[in-house]
Amino acid sequence: MIWRSSIARSLLLALLVALLVATLCFWVAHTLPGDLALRVAAGRYPGVQPNQDLADVVRQAYGLDRPIFVQYVEWLGRVVRLDFGNSLITGRPVLADVIPYLHNSLRIVFWGFLAAVCLAVPIGFLCGRAPNSRLDLVLTALSAALSTIPTFLLGIFLVQFFIVDRGLGSLSGTSGVARLWLPILTIAIALAGPLSRVVRNAVADVRAQPFMVHALMRGVPKRQLFLRHGVRNALLPILNYLPVVFLFLIYDVIVIETVFNYRGVGWALIEAVKTRDIPVMQCLVLMLVVFYLVATAVTEAITRLLYRQDARR
């Protein structure tokens, strides 16, 4: 019962967040300094000197002269159907323009996340197995140092060192190992810092638990001990931490794509913000938020499935 109502609350919360962001998107577009109709007119009739007459035409055609609340509800209705209107720059439907970006971003995000996990878990495990050993102190200090370096600095440094000075990579295109390895590595390093520390603490905590000692006394071989009894328990705090990792992932993708000139969602978002291509910006922001909410919900669902019995107990 408790379980079900907490799902309901999570859903309500996710919905609330999505609505909040959507409202902010709408509000930003409509409190924009300058006339929205003029912006739309400039995008709709490229090359024309935008003027008040055209703005009036647009205002009528797009219904910008109606009460703001009516426009808001109608806009929400269209957004739910994934209809974001046309880009003010290219004049094409927003979704058609945005899908290639999504495609590109998923590529580096998926591999970057995987690489981060592959980096963080072994490091965290090594440290957590022997907390406060020399190895632990060195690696912890290293990961702390890494998390103090802002991602954009890391990116600039790697681009300069590997691509500009040594030619070991590429800055154009969106596919191929030469193009992708460095952005993926940057994401991995940026995420592995905090993630490895969470893994370390989880492993260290579990090892110190009485039930581990108990199992050892019961005669579970030392080598199998962690695998049999520790993993399950150490995984919980790590799973709980994942939403934070997803949050970092979103921010890092924006910065990394900008530094690497990589045509993904983050790059497109910065461009859309700078050129005030409002429909594209709204679509991208909502897309990122939905990605975050879905990823968080999936993690939560997995956690629940894995630890269901514990909850019932």
Partner 1 sequence: MNPGRARRVSTTIGGGLTLAFLFVAAIGPLIYPVDPNAQSLVHALAPPGPDYPLGADQFGRDILARVLHGARFSAGIAVAIVVLSLATGIALAGCALWTGGVVSATLTLVADAVYALPGMLVVLMVAGVMGGGAITLVLLLWFVKWPEYYRLSHATGRFVVSSEHVLASRLAGARPLRVFRFQILPTMAPYLLSVGSLSVGQTVLSIATLGFLGIGIAPPQAEWGAMINDLRGYWQLAPVQLAAPTVAIVWIVLGLLLLSQGLSERKARLDDAFS
Partner 2 sequence: MEVELRGNLVAMVASCAVSLGFVPITLAGPDDDTVRIAAPWDISALTPSAGTALQRMGVTETLTRPGPDGEIAGLLATDWSASEDLTEWRFTIRDDVVFHDGTALTADVAAANLSTFRAENALRDAPISGIRAEGDQVVIQLERPFSPVPAYLSDWSTGIVAAANLEDDAVLTPFGTGYYRVEDVSDPNVMRLVINEDYWGDLPNISRAEYHFVPDVQARQAMIAAGEIEFAFGLPANAVQLLGGADNLSVDVQSLPRIRALKLNAAMPPYDELDVRRAISLAIDRRGIAGAIVGNPEAAATQLIPPTLAGWHDTALAPFEYDPQQAVALLQGAGWARGDDGVLVRDGERFEMELRTYDSRPELPLIGVAVQEMLRDIGIDVSIRQGDWSVISDGHADGSLEAGIISDTFVYVPDPIGAMAENFYQDGGDWGSMNWHNADFDALVEAYQRTADSGALGDMRRQMIEMIHAEMPLITITWYDEVYAVSDAIDGFEFDVYELRYGLDRLTWTE
Q: Which of 85, 86, 151, 192 binds partner 2 (CB under 8 A)?
A: 86
Q: Give the C-alpha distances (Å, rounded to integers) separating 73 from 69, 146, 312.
A: 6, 45, 42
We find the least distance from the C-beta atom of residue 201 to partner 2, in angstroms, to be 31
Q: Which of 19, 247, 261, 298 binds partner 2 (CB under 8 A)?
A: 261
The smaller minimum CB distance to partner 1, of residues 53 and 165, is found at: 165
Q: Which residues contact 222 (CB under 8 A, 6 or more apart)?
A: 216
Q: 13 is in the binding site of which of partner 2, partner 1, none (Cβ under 5 to 8 A by kind)?
A: partner 1
Gap between the Cα atoms of 165 and 88, Å rounded: 38
Gap between the Cα atoms of 260 and 173, Å rounded: 10
We find the least distance from the C-beta atom of residue 164 to partner 1, in angstroms, to be 8
| Segment interacting with partner 2 (CB under 8 A) among 12-20, 43-51, 205-213, 301-309 | 43-51
Q: Are 269 and 25 contacting, i.e. CB atoms less than 8 angstroms apart?
A: no
The smaller minimum CB distance to partner 2, of residues 164 and 213, is found at: 164
Positions touching partner 1 (CB under 8 A) are 12-14, 16-17, 20-21, 24-25, 28-29, 31-33, 131-132, 137, 144-145, 147-153, 156, 160, 164, 247, 250-251, 254-255, 258, 269-270, 273-274, 276, 278, 281, 285, 288-289, 292-293, 296
Query: Other C-beta atoms within 10 Å of 37: how many?
Result: 22
State both tokens at 33: 């300094």
Q: 166 is in the binding site of which of partner 2, partner 1, none (Cβ under 5 to 8 A by kind)?
A: none
State both tokens at 3: 């379980």
Gap between the Cα atoms of 232 and 307, Å rounded: 9
Gap between the Cα atoms of 25 and 75, Å rounded: 11
Q: 132 is in the binding site of which of partner 1, partner 2, none (Cβ under 5 to 8 A by kind)?
A: partner 1
Q: Which of residues 284-313 bind partner 2 (CB under 8 A)?
A: none
The smaller minimum CB distance to partner 1, of residues 16 and 96, is found at: 16
Q: Are 286 and 25 contacting, i.e. CB atoms less than 8 angstroms apart?
A: yes
Q: 293 is in the binding site of which of partner 2, partner 1, none (Cβ under 5 to 8 A by kind)?
A: partner 1
The smaller minimum CB distance to partner 2, of residues 77 and 150, is found at: 77
The smaller minimum CB distance to partner 2, of residues 89 and 220, is found at: 89
Nearest to 20 by CA among 299, 304, 290, 308: 290
Q: Are 183 and 104 contacting, i.e. CB atoms less than 8 angstroms apart?
A: no
Nearest-10 Cα torsion for 128, 129, 133, 134: -80
Residue 172 interacts with partner 2 (CB under 8 A): yes or no: yes
Q: Which of residues 87-146 bind partner 2 (CB under 8 A)?
A: 87, 89-93, 95, 97, 99-100, 102-104, 106-107, 110
Gap between the Cα atoms of 220 and 63, Å rounded: 72
Gap between the Cα atoms of 198 and 147, Å rounded: 13
User: Length of the chain in residues, anyone?
Assistant: 313
Residue 77 interacts with partner 2 (CB under 8 A): yes or no: no
Binding positions for partner 2, rule: CB under 8 A: 33-35, 38-39, 42-43, 45-52, 55, 81-83, 86-87, 89-93, 95, 97, 99-100, 102-104, 106-107, 110, 159, 163-164, 167, 170-173, 175-180, 258, 261, 263, 271, 274-276
